[in-house]
Structure formats: structure tokens, C-alpha cells
Chains A and B, each alone.
Chain A
Amino acid sequence: MIGQVIFIIILAAAIYLFSKNVGKIRRNILLGRDTDRSDNPAERWKTMAKIALGQTKMTKRPFAAVMHFFIYVGFIIINIEVLEILIDGVFGSHRIFSAPLGGLYNLLIGGFEFLAVLVLVACFTFLIRRNIGHLKRFSGVEMTSWPKSDANYILIIEILLMTAFLTMNAADHKLQLLNFGHYIKAGSFPVSNLIGPLLPDSANSLETIERGCWWFHIIGILAFLNYLPYSKHFHILLAFPNTYYSNLNPKGKFTNMASVTNEVKAMLDPSFVPESTGEIARFGAKDVTDLTWKNLMEAYTCTECGRCTSVCPANQTGKLLSPRKIMMDTRDRIAEVGNNLDKNGKDYKDDKSLLDNYITREELWACTTCNACVEACPVNINPLEIITEMRRYIVMEESQAPNSLNNMFGNVENNGAPWKYSQADRFNWKE
């Protein structure tokens, strides 16, 4: 009974804390500018099913795709078991699904055990790849000690959880064979069977181990849940809305800025009266709040896999630009802005901005807008949009484009071509 009370308190606290932190992230995302992504829901559901649920963009790297799939499927399916553990915890029951499910229960538990092994294999492989194999994709200027530790923590927690799960089953199974207490015969244990011989034979020790692992496993899961909002691992949740709100246009299509259209129309036609757009916004993005909520959602979705950076032509030729850094900087900055709001009230402004304090101009000007990063992202994140918005700020608000580009602008404006040729010579190619 006391166990149930403690369990309910821990569960309630975990859910409360998690909702609170998710609420903060939601608030931070909504600090971004508005953009309409409500059109074409059918296409959006399809995109989400394909990209997030079906993981089709992961297949470009088959080995990582298979390993990731083990963890993904393991995570989703083993959640059925977590549901049972939660119910058992609240009601003080034991393996409550075994009676209604009957034979299917054995199949499920056996299946979970195999999945747990696959998850363990994948996590160990990933740890080795990161820490011993030193895969190039996992290094880079933005991969400082926190992102590297974050990745390792996630893998280690998953390994501990799966080990506890299997050990718990092994002890449970032995107790079942001893006909001990409430340990009814339920489930099949193809994997934990093999761990059984390593455990003591006394029923009391076994019960301690079983209970210990049970509590460790469920508290571990609830703690992990609360780790998510601070971690890159948040992608397991945001991948779904992020792909739902994907850009459905061709990648080459950049947004036309409506605020500019009004000004240009007024310039070309003095009688034009622009529709009032309400607030006076700044052209382009200097800080995270000048970006759209979708850009900010993407920053929280990024799991720092580095596929974008590994295909970026600028990065591959030694330039400073790294699309992954663009996303990580955006997340760090919006988290900072959010924390400032919490601490100092909504009117507080620090004297920092995404531009210069996080992302340098050298990075922004190295981009060829080739869309390789956008194509490579397994969850449809678009670093290019952020880069473009920041270039817009530099050019239109500050007039600080590199000189050679200012020359190009001048040529386009005066000669109708980016080079210094006369418009009158435009047809000279006709021999």
C-alpha cells in the first residue's frame, strides 16, 4: 500500500514537471513570427506518416537506419509493457495484462525481450561509433562537451533501462518457477532465461532483485521523460509535429516577403495604397524572435545527427558554416530568451542576439543555398531558411553585405544583370 502511494506521488510529480517544461518549450516556440502551415492537411498527414513514422529519409545511410530502427521500434513497442507497469504500480497488481491477454501475453513478453536485446545491440554500437570509432559526423566546432555528453547519457540510460527490464524478467521468471508469493506464471522469457543462472536461488534475494529492477526501470523511465526537454532527445516527440508542418513547396522556392511587396508596389505605382500589416516588423532576422515558430520548432526538433553538416559543400571544404550549428545556436538562443522571460519578466531584453553572439556573418555568407542540408535532414528541418532570413537582415536593415555582393546588387539595379554589361548589349549573342 505504501508502495502504491509512493508510486503515485512519483508519477504525478514526473507528469507535472514534464508538462511544465513542455509548456515552456511551447511558449518559446510561439515567440516566433507567425507563418501559415495549416493548408493541405491530407498531404501533411501523409508526410508525417512517411518521414516521421516510416523514417524513409533515414534509409540514405542504411547501417544507421537499421540500428536506429531497432531503438525506435523497441521504444514504441516496449511502451505497451510500460503501460502495464504503470497500472501495476498504481493498483498494486502484478502483470495485470496476463489474465485478459492469455497466450498473447506470452508472445508479447517474449517479443519485448527480443526487442530489448536489439535496443541493447544498437545502443552499444552507437556508443562505440561515437566514442571509439570517432565518426567524423559526430565532431565539429558545435559538438562541444555538452552535446557529446548528452548523446552518451541517452545511450547509457537506454542501456540501463533495458538491462533492468531483462533482469527484472529473469528474477520474476525464477520466482514463478518457485511458486513464490504473488508471482503468477505469466509471460515467456526467451532472453532473460539466459540471465537466470547468474541470479541467486533464494526467493527473498530474487524478490529484492525483481522489485529493485522494477522500481529502477520505472523511475528511470520517468526521469528520462523529464530529461527530454533539456536534451536533443526531444526529437522523439517533436519529429511528428515538425514533419506535419513541413514545407510542402519545392525546395528551390524561397518565401516572398509580403512587407517588401507592399513597399515595392508603392514605389512602382504611387497611387498604390498598401493594406495595413499591423505591426512594423524588421526585415529578416537578427534574433530568434524574428524567425518563424516553425524555425524555432525545428531547432527543438534537431537531434544533432550531423547529416546536414556532413553534406554541406561549404563545411566539406573547410568553411566555418555548419548547418547543424545554425540549428543548435537557434535552440540555445531561444532557450536563453525563454529563461530571461521567466526570470526577468516579459519586457526584459538582454543585449545579445542570434546574429553575432551566436552565428557569425562568415558562416552565413558561406552558404551556397544548395539545399543539401534540407534534403539530408531525416525530419525535414530547414537550416537554409534561417540563413536566408539572417542574410535579409544584414542586407536590408544594415546594408552590410560583402562589397562584391553590393557591386552585384548595383549591377542588377542599373544594368539588369549581375555583371557590368550594358542592357543594350543583351542581344549581342545573336552573332
Chain B
Amino acid sequence: MAEMMAQGKEPEILFWVGCAGSFDERAQRITRDICKILSHVGISFAVLGTEEACTGDPAKRAGNEFLFQMQAMMNIQVLNGYNIKKIVTGCPHCFNTIKNEYPGLGGNYEVIHHTQLIQQLIDEGKLKAEGGESFKGKRITYHDPCYLGRGNDVYEAPRKALEVLDADLVEMKRCRSNGLCCGAGGAQMFKEPEKGNKDINIERMSDVLESKATVVAAACPFCMTMLRDGVKLSEKEKEIEVLDIAEITARANGL
């Protein structure tokens, strides 16, 4: 972003990568695929790079409002400094926080999640599912991230992105507004779970197995981690693949 600014250019959209997308090795692949999609359709975009910092989401959900607002105000300063108008995020938690909680602190942007961008591009005819890997007939199920689905009522966009694949799409028993959490939200990602009789991602695996899907589509880097751990612990790594909607889209288009 700093480079673009120096060249006097303004990007159409800012890609908010998020901490998982920046540091988590598995999520970095999703980040790169989102970039490939943006380049493929010719959207000029920028990232903040080292100027980006945690939105404060995990701090806020854990009750640390001070830390959240510190992060939020510093990020808003950077975003407003670059005159950012439109943001696409790679993570539903960043999406929710910037879209819903930043305006009250002076950060007003048009914020979309990457699955919404993919849906828009498909609707506009700019993105198809051709020239790459065929998902035809593959049994795919979609896991709703809480902060995209229930949190912000985004249920259709990720599904639209899968519909173009001509795959065998199945829903899990608990889906859409009834979707079961992966277990990572509310800062659970950063702590051990409380005592119980099983982990939440194992409970979610029973839905995945029941659906008989061979691909679980995710739209959140934390869900990705939890679902992959669930697949590993169920010893289904050979049968079931967990892929982000962005990865599926990139693969289907040979990017």
C-alpha cells in the first residue's frame, strides 16, 4: 500500500489479510489464492503488509475491550491515512470487526468477505470455473463460519461460489443458521478448551462424516485449522480434504 501511495495510485480495493492469513502456513496459501483471483480478474488491489495489525477481534471476544479499541484506533488511523474506501477480508472475524465495530470508532468502509467478492465476480461473469481442476461430481459440503453466517447473515455467497463447479453439493445436518461452530471462536483458538467429554471440532466431524463429503469447503482460517485437526484425529486425511472457497475457486480456474 505504501508503494502504491508513493506512486500516487489508489487501489480499487484493500485486501485485509489478517493474522492467520499472514502467519499461519496453511492460511498463507489461502491468502496467495485470494491474490491470484484478484489479479486474474484485473482488480487493482493493495495490502497493508507490515502496517497491518490484528483487528482486536480475539481481544474483544475475550473481554479485553481496552486492547480491542487500541488496535482498532491504530488500524483506523492507518486505513484513513491511506483514504481506504473498500476492503475485502480473508477472514470472517476481521470482516465482522471492521464492518460492524470500526464505524463506531471512526472507521467507515465498505467491507466484504472474500466469498462475497467471488460471488460478485461470478455474477458479473468475470469469474467462471474453467481452465483448471474439475470438481465435477465431487461431493462437497460447506461449513458455515459463525461470524459470516449467524453473525452477519452471509449464507448464500459461499454457496454460490460452489454452485458453478457442477459438483455434488451436500449440506450437513447442522447448516446455515443452525450450523455448528468449529470451536475456535470467542478466543477459544488461543486457549485450551474447558473440561468436557469431547472437543467441538470432533463433534463437527460427525456431521462431516455423515454427509459423506470428500471436500469440506471452509471460509475462515480458524475453521480451517479446527476442521483439519478434526479430519486428522478421525484418521480421514486420505479421504477428506478441507479447502477454502478461495482455494477451490483458484484451482477450478487453474490459477
Contacts and interface: CB of A to CB of B under 8 A. Distances in A.
Given A317-B197, A372-B150, A392 B63 contact: yes
Contacts of B180: 311, 313, 316, 372
A23 interface: no
Contacts of B179: 372
B190 to A, nearest CB: 4
Interface string B186-207: 1111111111111110110000
Central interface residue in B22, B101, B197, B198, by most chain A CB within 10 Å: B22
A193 interface: no
Given A391-B62, A421-B23, A424-B50, A264 B70 contact: yes
A268 B202 CA distance: 44
A408 B203 CA distance: 26
Contacts, number: 208
B229 interface: no
B28 interface: yes
A370 B195 contact: no
Contacts of A395: 62-64
Contact of B194 (A311, A319, A390, A396): A319
B58 to A, nearest CB: 5
B187 A405 contact: yes
B96 A252 contact: yes
Contacts of B203: 313, 316-317
A417 B190 contact: no
Nearest to A371: B150
B84 interface: no
A171 B54 CA distance: 75
Contacts of A425: 23
A107 B62 CA distance: 59
Given A317-B203, A407-B190, A423-B50, A401 B69 contact: no
B90 to A, nearest CB: 11
Interface stretch (A6-14, A138-146, A253-261): A253-261
Contacts of A124: none
B150 to A, nearest CB: 4
A77 interface: no
A419 interface: yes
A408 B68 CA distance: 12
Interface residues of B, number: 66
B184 interface: yes
A167 B239 CA distance: 65
A427 interface: yes
A417 B54 contact: yes
Contact of B23 (A263, A283, A374, A417): A417
Contact of A409 (B28, B64, B195): B64
Nearest to A260: B65
A417 B85 CA distance: 24
Residue among B73, B147, B187, B198 with the highest chain A CB neighbour number at 10 A: B187
A255 to B, nearest CB: 9
Nearest to B179: A372
A368 B190 contact: no
B215 interface: no
A368 B54 contact: no
A253 B179 CA distance: 19
Nearest to B92: A252
A7 B148 CA distance: 58
Contact of B193 (A319, A372, A418): A319
29 contacts: A251-B151, A252-B96, A252-B152, A253-B100, A256-B101, A260-B66, A264-B70, A311-B178, A317-B197, A318-B195, A362-B194, A365-B191, A366-B194, A369-B186, A371-B150, A372-B178, A372-B180, A396-B65, A408-B59, A408-B187, A412-B56, A416-B71, A418-B58, A425-B23, A426-B22, A426-B23, A426-B52, A427-B49, A429-B23
Interface of A: 60, 249-254, 256-257, 260-261, 263-265, 267-268, 283-284, 311, 313-314, 316-321, 362, 365-372, 374-375, 388, 390-396, 401-402, 404-405, 407-409, 412-413, 416-419, 421, 423-431
Nearest first, the 9 closest Cβ-Cβ pairs linking A and B are A252-B151, A391-B63, A416-B53, A318-B197, A369-B186, A253-B100, A318-B196, A370-B181, A395-B63
